[in-house]
Amino acid sequence: MDVDGESLLETLERLSFLATEISDLAELDINPLLVDASGCKAVDARIIW
């Protein structure tokens, strides 16, 4: 199965940035996070402030 590794890395970097820059962020849940040859997609997400 081919995956877009660059897209996955970019998504993880952006999520890390979000978590470190927004001090009010208590919880972030992404489930599932799908990665394939066409990119990375969050099917469902929940953010708790």
For residue range 6-49, what is the model confidence (pLDDT) as tens digits? 999 999 999 999 999 999 999 999 999 999 999 999 999 999 99
The two tokens of residue 48 are 């708790």
Give the confidence band of 1 by pLDDT, cuts at 50, 70, 90.
confident
Range of the domain at 32: 5-48
Alpha-carbon gap, residue 12 to 5, rounded angstroms: 11
Q: Is 40 helix (H, G, I), strand (E, B) or coil?
A: strand
Residue type, 6: E
State pTM to two decimals: 0.83
Q: How many domains does the chain have?
A: 1
Q: Give the pairing of strands 45-48 and 39-42.
A: unpaired
